[in-house]
Amino acid sequence: MKQRYHLWLAVSLALFISLVAVSAVLAQDSSPRTPTDDEVNAIAKQLYCPVCENIPLDVCGTQACEQWRGLIREKLAAGWDEAQIKQYFVDQFGDRVLATPPARGLNWLVYIIPPVAILVGVYVIYRAFMAWKQPVDELSYEQESTPSDEDEYITRLEEELRSRQP
């Protein structure tokens, strides 16, 4: 009975040690992780080609953009995150490579002017509709003429017409 207990203990211990060794081996990644094209393009979509005007880096077909996408892939494989990669390109080429300009300096106007312009436009349209909706006084278009406003010629003409009527 004691031999059986020792055998069971030895087998259990051997099994436990082999599981620990296998899990340690599986936990180690022998090859570096290769980022997928989707991961690379997700970052490249947020950057513009510094050589071509207004073309996102993910769709630009120049050799330089191919190299920059390769650089993004290398940085992702090295463990860099999206913010670090974008900052790297900003450091190299300036803010113009970013698809969304940072809200600093005069760039904050990009975020302020469109909503303000929309609100002002809505207000102007509202005021115009309210002005069109109000009834117009007919008397406001007719000018009451007084004898002092009339021309001398018109006064003489009216007098002659009155005198000739039977």
pTM of the predicted structure, to 2 decimals: 0.50
Q: What is the pLDDT of residues 136-150, one digit of tens each?
A: 665 555 555 555 556
**DSSP assignment string, 19-83:** HHHHHHHHHS-SSPPPPPHHHHHHHHTTBB-SSSTT-BTTT--SHHHHHHHHHHHHHHHTT--HH
Decide if pLDDT at 103 tops 90. no
The residue with tokens 């900052």 is: 87
Q: Does a structural domain hold residue 28?
A: no
Integer Cα distance of 87 and 76 in angstroms: 13
77: CATH: 1.10.8.640
Same domain, 90 and 118: no
Q: What is the pLDDT of residue 148?
A: 54
Q: Does a structural domain hold residue 29?
A: no
Q: Does a structural domain hold residue 153?
A: no
Domain count, the chain: 2
Decide if pLDDT at 99 tops 90. no
Same domain, 123 and 73: no
Of 96, 39, 101, 97, residue with least CA distance to 72: 39
> 36-50, 51-65, 114-128 — which one is most confidently predicted on average?
114-128
Domain membership of residue 53 as a residue range: 37-100
